[in-house]
Chains A and B, each alone.
Chain A
Amino acid sequence: MYRYDEFDHKFVRDRTQQFRDQAERRMNGTLTEDEFRPLRLMNGLYLQLHAYMLRVAIPYGTLSGRQMRQLAMIAEKWDKGYGHFTTRQNIQYNWIKLEDTADILEALAEVEMHAIQTSGNCIRNVTTDHWAGAAADEIADPRPVGELLRQWSSLHPEFSFLPRKFKIAVTGAPNDRAAVKVHDIGLRLHKNDRNETGWEVIVGGGLGRTPMIGVTVRGFLPEPELIGYLEAIMRVYNLHGRRDNKYKARIKILVHELGADKFKSEVEAEYAKRPQASTEVEERELQRIAAYFAAPQFEKHSRWSAAFEEAKLGNPDFARWAKNNLGVHRVDGYAIVNISLKPEGGIPGDATAEQMRLMADLAERYSADELRVSHAQNVVLPHVKKDDVFAIWRALQGADLAPANYGLAGDIIACPGLDYCALATARSIPIAQSISRKFADLDRQEDIGKIKINISGCINACGHHHVGHIGILGLDKKGEEFYQITLGGSSAENASIGSILGPGFAGYEVADAIETILNTYIKLRQPGEEFLAAYRRVGPKPFKEALYAAA
């Protein structure tokens, strides 16, 4: 894992001091709320429906045990004892006081964390594959590039007042778990036939009210050129992105309005003018950073663990959890443990301070002191010996952290919605809870198989409903919440935007509608065919008929 050096420490301390001063000026009235707003937002502090919300960056989703423990401490000391892991691999605290914020930022700085640029019209926390460094299908760990981009984008003087927020995602694997095609910039690693690696640069993807799949502007950019090339993209966007309408201000609209070719030629022209062609510093910095991400010392084990197999035989609940919640590790004898933060009827992504501490303990004891937060709002122990998996499951079970629903219908992604968020038009959490209860039976979830259900409480799409296999969007119709259903979305390497199925539903009808859709799928699927594949084969018609025929 990356460790701060003296410079990183000083940078974050300076920033915390700067925020303390700004917050004091706001509290004594010398800064107006309008002027304070962008400053607090650039430090992750939102004013929500009931209180301030602080969004803390978890760069590329990676945490150590010590950092997770500090997040637990903050939840207890300054919030109500829990936190909410978000779809951008961050954590949010929903009940923060302005006067405590600088102290919280100081507590974060102690463990090499911050809340810089988790909001505002700037480059946000860089996200990546939550299995980075562990996945069997990976070409290379994308986190060194994630850290390079974190540093480069931090308080970038030229790009702190962009037309709109800017999100970058990075993946080092061909199976895209980082949704790179629906980010403002997505970076995907490729290997050519000479065994060299290069980055595909995808620009202009996004969700929100105008969902779009990004376009590739460079197919194979050498790694040290990333910073210079991204500077060129950012400059073209900063100069020419629309500022007249915030709903048309994301880079996807610029790419769309200029056309991909014209946009690309603007970027290339800007890149050609770069003042420094040498990338020696970037190369050295990448090497310096990469050394921190060296793989842990894996022990030599056979792929087959007797302890693991015996535990499964002796305990069907464990066997089921192991079948659903483990990912394939690149080293024999190891597994990736996916901890589902989606208990039946729970709030997706919420964890209590005790749960955070337990996960920290498990990471320190069994997973090379590493945790990951996934964009699906779960927590990952990336490097676990198969021999230890049973002990981990037992510990998780005692803390309500062992739902065996990873990747299944109960593993729902949902934004905070109208229960917390000032932008929301409808509640998300109760919808997630009702679906989760409806499909509480794990036999049924397993029968349905792999499915992504995503819920957003407004058109801004923080729950990524456009790319859910089943997406649910909460809207307000004359003071009543109602929910639109989309089918066929995907954020994976074959990304697609879901299509709206038909008229919306009242909140109490949504879980039944999802059930009808899934029953329809079960009737028409071919052997082994997952929901998304079946939908892509048959289209919306049978689902529409099943849902709306009765009415």
Chain B
Amino acid sequence: MPLLKNNTLISDTWIHAGAESQLPEAGDIIVPFARLLKDWETLAQHNGKLGVELGNAGRAEALATFLPKLSVIVLPFPAFNDGRAYSIARQLRQMGYRGELRATGNVLPDQLQFMLQVGFDTFDIGERFPLAVWQQASRQMSLAYQRGLFRRGSEAEIWTERHTDADPWLEQPHAG
């Protein structure tokens, strides 16, 4: 399945290990959060990069001690209107996580920009919509009122623009 990142399609090179399945000898793997807890000692020695999928009823703080070792965190949207992962994503970014943050599940173009703004940078988009639709959807709004969002050069925070001489927020890195 292709992933969307930086407005282009990339292939998913990660191996998704299940809760119980045999771990591969090497390669980049994504495991469910429960397995991260259970098999941490083995996983910490794994020959390859490590990622985790956190269910959206999970708590961001539960990942705090693992963050330095994680290269990808996958947050699922079981339904596009289940918005919990937006808050978890923001919490993870506020905790200082700078690795890949991937949205999976019912990811649709009309929610893409919100996801980018809270810090997601890769998207498991399936094959239903052509790339052009995603590209257009990623830049529908050029302005946001809220501060501390992830944004690209063409997007601006209104309150920050209005009060340029006030203390700036820590600059957020540009996301996907």
What is A's interface to B at a CB cutoff of 8 Å? 5, 7-8, 10-11, 14-15, 17-18, 21-22, 35, 38-39, 121, 151-152, 154-162, 235, 238-239, 243, 273, 275-276, 278, 280-282, 284-285, 288
Task: Name the A residues within 8 Å of B82 (CB-CB).
Answer: 161, 243
Task: Name the B residues within 8 Å of A282 (CB-CB).
Answer: 159
Q: How far is the CB of A244 from chain B (nearest CB, A)?
A: 11
Known: A239-B87, A275-B94, A284-B163. A10 touches B81 (CB 8 A): no
Known: A35-B110, A238-B86, A239-B88. A157 touches B167 (CB 8 A): no
Task: Name the A residues within 8 Å of B162 (CB-CB).
Answer: 5, 7, 284-285, 288
Q: Which of B88, B143, B163, B169 contacts A14 (CB 8 A)?
A: B143
Determine the distance from Cα of A157 to Cα of B170 in the docked complex, in whole angstroms.
19
Q: Which of B11-19, B23-31, B44-52, B146-154 is the interface stretch?
A: B146-154
Q: Is the CB of B170 within 8 A of A275?
A: yes
Q: B8 on the interface (CB 8 Å rule)?
A: no
Determine the distance from Cα of A37 to Cα of B158 in the docked complex, in whole angstroms.
28
Q: B10 on the interface (CB 8 Å rule)?
A: no
Q: Which of B115, B143, B169 contacts A10 (CB 8 A)?
A: B143
Determine the distance from Cα of A285 to Cα of B145 in the docked complex, in whole angstroms.
11
Q: B71 on the interface (CB 8 Å rule)?
A: no
Determine the distance from Cα of A280 to Cα of B80 in the docked complex, in whole angstroms.
35
9 A-B pairs, CB-CB below 8 angstroms? Answer: A7-B156, A14-B142, A21-B140, A155-B144, A157-B86, A158-B146, A238-B86, A282-B159, A285-B163
Q: Is the CB of A239 within 8 A of B170?
A: no
Q: How far is the CB of A285 from chain B (nearest CB, A)?
A: 5
Known: A7-B158, A288-B162. A239 touches B84 (CB 8 A): yes
Q: B166 on the interface (CB 8 Å rule)?
A: yes
Q: Which of A22, A160, A235, A238 contacts B114 (CB 8 A)?
A: A160
Known: A161-B82, A238-B86, A239-B87. A152 touches B146 (CB 8 A): yes
Q: Which residue of A lies closest to B113 (CB)?
A: A157
Q: Is the CB of A158 within 8 A of B140?
A: no
For the complex of A and B, the 6 pairs showing the least CB-CB separation, nearest first, are A161-B83, A157-B114, A157-B117, A151-B145, A7-B158, A280-B166
Q: How far is the CB of A131 from chain B (nearest CB, A)?
A: 27
Q: How far is the CB of B59 from chain A (nearest CB, A)?
A: 8
Q: Is the CB of A275 within 8 A of B148?
A: yes
Task: Name the B residues within 8 Å of A7 (CB-CB).
Answer: 143, 156, 158, 161-162
Q: B160 on the interface (CB 8 Å rule)?
A: yes
Q: Is the CB of B87 within 8 A of A161?
A: no
Known: A158-B87, A239-B88. A281 touches B160 (CB 8 A): yes
Determine the distance from Cα of A61 to Cα of B59 in the docked complex, in whole angstroms.
39
Task: Name the A residues within 8 Å of B86 (CB-CB).
Answer: 157-161, 238
Q: Which residue of A lies closest to B129 (CB)?
A: A30
Q: A11-B158, A157-B114 are in contact. List 15 more A-B contacts (CB 8 A).
A: A14-B140, A152-B146, A157-B113, A157-B146, A158-B86, A160-B86, A161-B81, A161-B83, A235-B90, A235-B91, A276-B169, A280-B167, A284-B163, A285-B162, A288-B162
Known: A14-B140, A157-B117, A238-B86. A276 touches B147 (CB 8 A): yes
